[in-house]
Amino acid sequence: MKELVLHLGMPKTGSSALQVFLARNQAALLERGVDYLPIGEFALGVNGRISAGNGAYLARTLLAPESPARIPDPERHRAEFHAAVARSSAPVGVVSSELFIDARRDALETLIGTLAQRGITVKALYYIRRHDQFLASAYMQQVKRHACTDSPETYARLAYRQHPFLKYHSFYRYLSEIFGSASILCRTYEGPVMQGDGLFRDALATLGIAADGLAFEVPDVNTSLTPKEVAIMLLVNRYRPRMQFSDIVVENAIGTGAMRAGMEHHILPQRLIAEVEDYFRDENRAMAREYFKREELFGTPPYTGAIESIGTPSLSFEDVIGFFGGLMVRYDQRLVDLDQRIVEMGKVIRALRAEIRAPEPVQSERVS
């Protein structure tokens, strides 16, 4: 291996979908000299599930000791990563996880230095997104997966100053100091990239990988909810549902097709969008000029239309029945699947019991 690409995310830029695409196309990518290493949560990607990518465990070894996501036994997972790199015959390796965003600088530098000693150049690939859309999508994720009960404005107003990576130019300069500016591959997650298989094709083009012959049919992963579904979840979240509950909600949302990957969210008030744009204006302009060699960072301007209401007044009886009716149908199917598994397990247990109880055949003594 001569080059390793660390896909850093960012959050809310289609990372889960890209990880599924890479995992399901691993064999075809290998033929093109690119190895999406089969480590970490690789199997979840193959199965079309939400994951933190094949770099999930490696990234968690690079987090600060006080981080709740840090793995307590880092050496085992670092050894797994280095062994996978050593086994690979591909010129290029790819490791993906949004958790790399929060890695300690010294830990990243150590990793890069260790690979450099083996003649491997490390590059950083990541996507950046218009701030109003990032905040709206991040809010949806908090409602879906983390029992958030705040309004969109309350969440976004607290969040936009808390993430250092949202200062895109400063973050680019930070990564340049670690990886070297020539090894930074930054892309914008807007327009065509958000639609259909645009993200996959953009990532392939960025890495110089031919797209012909690859499978682009990838199931929806981590789909957003509609404003009305969010309004119901805000009520449900008062009871602190398990994450598995939200998984079923997302399955139901995918089934209805009301929201699709790449659709914009219009849930933040205009005054807040203007405040956020003003806060990041200089950062965005500097990133546009230094890295992209243009005046505007994003091709699409901040949303200025009507806000989609999130709250109980926007709900109808039909909305509530549709939400919980869909959940009941999915729970019913899960019960049917569970019942079938119990029946199959019962057959296996009965067969084992019969085998244990069966007398062994008497062997006649051989007469010499």
3-23 pLDDT per residue, tens: 999 999 999 999 999 999 999
d(CA 42, CA 365): 56
d(CA 243, CA 57): 20
pLDDT tens per residue across span 197-230 = 899 999 999 999 999 999 999 877 777 788 888 9
Res 366 pLDDT > 60: no
Q: Please tell me the predicted confidence (pLDDT) of residue 329.
A: 81
DSSP H/E element including 154: helix 152-159
Report the chain's mean pLDDT, rounded to a whole number: 90
Q: Please tell me the predicted confidence (pLDDT) of residue 118.
A: 96
Q: Which two tokens stand for residue 289?
A: 């000029």
Peptide bond into 10 cis (omega under 30): yes
Q: Which residue has the tokens 């075809």?
A: 28
d(CA 331, CA 248): 8
pLDDT tens per residue across span 164-209 = 999 999 999 999 999 999 999 999 998 778 878 899 999 999 999 9
322 Cβ contact list (under 8 Å, min separation 6): 256
d(CA 266, CA 12): 15
Task: Estimate the crossing angle of helix 270-290 against helix 168-179, to 10 degrees.
Answer: 40
Assign residue 235 a region (left: φ > 0; alpha: ψ between -120 and 50; beta: otherwise): alpha
d(CA 233, CA 25): 35
CA 277, 265, 128 angle in degrees (round to 5)? 55
pLDDT band with cut points at 50, 70 and 90 for residue 254: low
Give one DSSP letter per residue of 252-307, joined into a string.
HHHHHTSS-TT-----S-HHHHHHHHHHHHHHHHHHHHHTS-SS-S-SSPPP-SPP
Q: In what order do the strands lie in the sheet with 3-9?
A: 34-36, 92-96, 3-9, 121-128, 184-188
pTM of the model: 0.86
Provide CATH code, domain 3-256: 3.40.50
Of 230, 220, 247, nearest in space to 155 by CA = 230
- Stated length of the chain: 368
Res 70 pLDDT > 50: yes
Res 46 pLDDT > 80: yes
Residue 196 DSSP label: T
Of 290, 94, 90, nearest in space to 176 by CA = 290
**Mean pLDDT throughout 279-290?**
97
Res 282 pLDDT > 80: yes
- Any idea where the domains of the chain sit in the sequence? 3-256, 316-355
